[in-house]
């Protein structure tokens, strides 16, 4: 990004209109820092033990702070007239407070002066677009508490880990006092083509700008220009584009910072104001049109190189030891158990608030994106598994105590009703029936079996048994009927159906995380992932009604079982069942 | 790479025939700990109650290197997901150079198994203090994983 800075500035200057027009030029930057860049640390990354590489979690985190984060903060401290957005997870502040208090003090000072906007929407850099909204709500509350505890002002701007973005974030942002969404330009252009960006968009009740894409606006005597000087992993700037997976080379390179600094000084000389996103929005919001945002699917910031969210939900990276379906389905299982534990504790009058809060924190950490993508090694997958199993243990312990408190041996916990009653209701199972359709499976040398059950009118359970074999790539296509309308739900809005028209988009195919598991197959038929059994991306296309899911990370020799629910009925019926399966599962314990 | 060792039902085989209490079913296996280290775990099951003995090659500041820890727990079942979870609460004396300093350490074991998979994986999570089983861990959960067969 910064290498293109000089060229970008020259280009912008050449486009300036004639003298006599008031020219305003703004330069913004979002530094996206992720303390969980190598979740769990480098221990075991190399095939053979290597003291130089086998750094534990804290050592890698410390490198991120000292080699990449602190130099960026120092740069802005040196130039009090410059503004910038620093995005990080709430957990980052906790680590700064514990091990780098001087860096935290400097960050706090610059944040309070208004020079640095510290941006945070989640406590852990978790894959929130793939889970029910409650997991993010708990995480955001933790972030808010962390900012308050460490006396750092929380910015009104939002950018997220891996550039995760979704339409329903607009409402959640407005509810919580956020104001400015930074939507990654590639997640936009992947869906609608590469069109010029508008200077400002209306995004529900908040504003939006396209992250990483400049914009201009001329009207009468007004001539506005927006340029980006950085929009990338913050770790890369001060280290000369190296990342923490190379800990022996991941070092602060003053020349790299100087190069960026010189670029900004040049911009300043040319009349640019180097500002935060919030300052830019304040400057233009009353003087430019608020452009309409087209329909946008949830996703991540580099859909071309990561095949959308597939890379975190079934797609294989470059290292051995990746286990996407195990990691993600375990996160879903822990979600259900925690939701049930909340209900059980409340019904029993059990004060388990501290325990449950600690488990929600562990779940947020366990749902970290890096546990299943982009290129996780075994240690990162096991970081996700370790945190989720501990959250699961705590949740089950709370349920046991709640049962004891209530004097009940076996209970049905229904989070949707807020009830815990004596008994043991049957699981979501039914009688065997003939196949509604046959999924098309490509599993190499593995045998794939299907079993259908009826659970009531229009409600079916489909179990796909994937036998042991050596093939690590399993691809299953569910036949659908092509309709222009596609029905699903969006991240952070579990209760609302979202209807899109395929013809509104330019892509050939798109990968969906499906946070409550629901996607339409056309003609009144819906597919629902049972996310604790299968949590993979769903590929939809413009020219077919089929839905495809794949797991490229099933270990050699291991088998798996994928469970789906199929609904024939209304979208509302399907949503209610998806809720019952994935959001507020009724559990017998 | 260290691999599994199973001594399934050893206790049952050696049990005295006229004992009234049923002999525990036992499993022994070896786990990788944060990939580089290892732990030997022996689990005695009586119904869903577990007695666990864990010996860890390196203590990571929350146990002594080579320490053997003991505790009890439960086999938790999640039938709707075909998952089982081995849990146990293990206690370790203080490690002065570790994050808990002079406090004893509570170590929570949580290992999950999907369906009939041979592999189990999970965590050993340290908390500072005696009988402390939640909160912010003293350090990241230790990552455990191995490949084991289910008992016959």
B58 vs A: CB within 8 A: no
Question: Of A543, A538, A545, A540, which is closest to residue A481 (Cα–Cα)?
Answer: A545
Three-state SS annotation for A511-569: EECCCCCEEEEECCEEEEECCCCCCCCEEEECCCCCEEEEECCCCCCCCEEEEEEEEEC
Of residues A115, A73, A28, the one with CA closest to residue A237: A73
Helices (H) and strands (E) in chain A, counts: 15, 27
| pLDDT tens-place string over residues A198-218 | 999 999 999 999 999 999 999
Q: Are B72 and B52 in contact (CB under 8 A)?
A: yes
pTM value is 0.94
Please enumerate in sequence order all residues whose Cβ is within 8 A of that of A502, keeping only pairs 6 or more positions apart, or say none.
Answer: A484, A485, A486, A540, A541, A542
A1-to-A165, A403, B81 alpha-carbon distances in Å: 21, 57, 45
- In this predicted structure, which of A39-43, A578-582, B7-11 has the lowest mean pLDDT? B7-11
**Distances A545 to A255, A523, A532 between C-alpha atoms, Å:** 53, 10, 25
Q: Which residue bears the tokens 């997640």?
A: A187
- Tokens 């030891």 — which residue? A321
* Residue B131 near chain A (CB below 8 Å): no
Residue A167 is classified by DSSP as T
**Could you say which of B122, B133, B143 has the minimum Cβ distance to residue A379?**
B143
What is the SS3 string spanning B67-110?
CEEEEEEEEEEEHHHCEEEEEEEEEECCCCCCCCCCCCEEEEEE
* CA dist B63 → A77, A398, B59 (Å): 43, 26, 4
Q: How confident is the model at residue B19 (pLDDT cuts 50, 70, 90)?
A: low
* DSSP 8-class letter at A314: T
Q: What is the pLDDT of residues A418-432, one digit of tens each?
A: 999 999 988 999 999
Whether a cis peptide bond, with omega within 30° of 0, leads into A474 is no
CB contact under 8 A, B81 and A333: yes
Phi, psi of B99 (to 5 degrees): -70, -20
Dist. CA A268–CA A248, nearest whole Å: 35
The tally of CA atoms less than 13 A away on the side-chain side of residue A25 is 22
Q: Do A393 and B87 touch (CB under 8 A)?
A: yes
Give the model confidence (pLDDT) of A496-533 as tens digits. Answer: 999 999 999 999 999 999 999 999 999 999 999 999 99
Could you give the CA distance from residue A362 to residue B136 in angstroms, rounded to a whole number?
9
Query: If you count DSSP H runs as helices and E runs as strands, how many of each does chain B have, helices first?
Result: 1, 8
What's the token pair of residue B97? 């150079």
pLDDT band at B116 (very low <50, low <70, confident <90, very high): confident
* Residue to test with chain B: of A386, A404, A535, most B Cβ within 10 A: A386
The verdict on a CB contact (< 8 Å) between B85 and A361 is no
In whole angstroms, give the CA distance from residue A234 to residue A76.
14
Distance CA A401, CA A341 (A): 10
Task: Spell out which residues of chain B touch residue A376, defining contact as CB-CB under 8 Å.
Answer: none
Average per-residue pLDDT for chain A: 96
Q: Residue B145's closest chain A neighbor by CA?
A: A382
- Predicted confidence (pLDDT) per residue in A516-525, tens digit: 999 999 999 9
Sign of CA dihedral A84, A87, A93, A99: negative
Query: Which two structure tokens, joined as six digits, stand for A37?
Result: 């860049």
The answer to whether the CB atoms of A43 and B35 lie below 8 A apart is yes
Interchain CB distance below 8 Å, B141 and A386: yes
* pLDDT tens digits along A369-379: 999 999 999 99
User: Residue A312: helix, strand or coil by DSSP?
Assistant: helix
pLDDT at B22 over 80: no
Question: Over the stretch A44-69, which tens digit does the pLDDT of each residue have?
Answer: 999 899 999 999 999 999 999 999 99
CA–CA min distance A201, chain B (Å): 41
Bridge partners (DSSP) of residue A462 are A452, A564
CA-based nearest distance B107→chain A, Å: 11
Residue whose C-alpha is closest to residue A23's, from A267, A155, A217, A214: A217
B123 inside 8 A of chain A by CB: yes
């Amino acid at each position: 990004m910064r290498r293109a800075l000089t060229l970008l500035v020259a280009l912008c200057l050449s486009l300036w209109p004639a003298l006599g027009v008031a020219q305003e030029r703004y330069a913004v930057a979002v530094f996206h820092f992720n303390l969980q860049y190598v979740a769990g640390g480098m221990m075991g990354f190399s095939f053979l033990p290597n003291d130089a590489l086998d750094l534990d979690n804290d050592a890698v985190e410390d490198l991120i702070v000292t080699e990449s984060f602190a130099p960026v903060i120092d740069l802005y401290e040196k130039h009090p007239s410059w503004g910038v957005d620093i995005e990080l997870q709430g957990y980052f502040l906790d680590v700064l407070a514990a091990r780098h208090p001087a860096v935290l003090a400097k960050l706090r000072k610059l944040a309070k002066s208004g020079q640095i906007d510290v941006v945070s929407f989640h406590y852990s850099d978790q894959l929130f677009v793939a889970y029910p909204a409650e997991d993010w709500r708990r995480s955001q509350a933790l972030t808010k508490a962390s900012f308050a505890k460490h006396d750092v002002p929380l910015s009104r701007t939002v950018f997220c880990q891996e550039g995760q973005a979704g339409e329903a974030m607009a409402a959640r942002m407005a509810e919580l006092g956020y104001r400015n969404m930074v939507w990654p330009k590639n997640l936009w252009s992947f869906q609608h083509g590469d069109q010029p960006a508008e200077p400002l968009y209306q995004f529900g009740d908040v504003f939006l700008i396209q992250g990483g894409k400049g914009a201009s606006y001329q009207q009468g005597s007004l001539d506005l220009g927006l340029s980006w000087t950085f929009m990338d992993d913050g770790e890369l700037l001060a280290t000369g584009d190296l990342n923490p997976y190379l800990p022996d080379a991941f070092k602060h390179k003053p020349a790299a910072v100087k190069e960026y600094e010189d670029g900004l000084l040049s911009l300043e000389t040319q009349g640019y104001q180097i500002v935060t996103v919030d300052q830019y929005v304040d400057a233009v919001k009353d003087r430019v049109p608020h452009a309409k945002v087209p329909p946008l699917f949830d996703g991540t910031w580099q859909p071309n190189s990561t095949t959308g969210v597939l890379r975190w939900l079934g797609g294989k990276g470059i290292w051995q030891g990746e286990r996407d379906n195990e990691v993600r389905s375990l996160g879903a299982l822990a979600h259900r158990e925690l939701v049930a534990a909340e209900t059980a504790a409340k019904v029993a009058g059990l004060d388990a608030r501290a325990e449950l809060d600690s488990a929600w924190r562990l779940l947020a950490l366990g749902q970290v994106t890096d546990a299943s993508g982009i290129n996780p090694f075994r240690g990162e997958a096991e970081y996700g598994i370790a945190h989720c199993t501990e959250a699961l243990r705590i949740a089950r312990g709370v349920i046991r105590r709640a049962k004891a408190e209530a004097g009940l041996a076996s209970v049905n916990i229904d989070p949707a009703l807020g009830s815990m009653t004596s008994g043991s209701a049957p699981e979501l199972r039914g009688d065997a029936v003939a196949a509604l359709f046959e999924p098309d499976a490509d599993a190499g040398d593995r045998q794939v079996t299907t079993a259908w059950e009826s659970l009531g009118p229009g409600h079916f359970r489909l179990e796909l048994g994937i036998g042991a074999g050596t093939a690590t790539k399993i691809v299953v296509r569910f036949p659908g009927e092509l309709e222009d309308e596609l029905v699903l739900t969006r991240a952070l809005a579990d209760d609302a159906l979202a209807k899109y028209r395929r013809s509104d988009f330019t892509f050939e195919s798109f990968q969906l995380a499906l946070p409550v598991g629901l996607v339409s197959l056309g003609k009144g038929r819906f597919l629902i992932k049972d996310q604790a059994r299968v949590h993979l991306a769903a590929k939809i296309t413009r020219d077919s009604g089929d839905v495809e899911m794949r797991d490229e990370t099933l270990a050699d020799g291991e088998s798996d079982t994928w469970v789906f629910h199929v609904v024939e009925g209304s979208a509302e019926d399907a949503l209610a069942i998806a809720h019952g399966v994935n959001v507020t599962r009724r559990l017998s314990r | 790479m260290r691999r599994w060792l199973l001594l399934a039902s050893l206790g049952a085989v050696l049990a005295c025939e006229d004992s009234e209490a049923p002999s525990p079913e036992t499993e022994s296996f070896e786990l990788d700990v944060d990939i580089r280290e290892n732990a030997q775990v022996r689990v005695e099951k009586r119904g869903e109650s577990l007695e666990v003995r864990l010996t860890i090659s390196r203590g990571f500041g929350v146990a002594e290197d080579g320490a053997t820890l003991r505790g009890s727990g439960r086999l938790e079942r999640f039938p709707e997901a075909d998952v089982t979870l081995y849990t146990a609460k293990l206690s370790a004396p203080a490690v002065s150079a570790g994050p808990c300093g002079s406090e004893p350490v509570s170590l929570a074991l949580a290992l999950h198994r999907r369906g009939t998979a041979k592999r189990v994986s999970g965590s050993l999570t340290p908390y500072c203090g005696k009988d402390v089983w939640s909160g912010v861990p003293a350090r990241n959960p230790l990552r455990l994983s191995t490949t084991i067969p289910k008992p016959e």
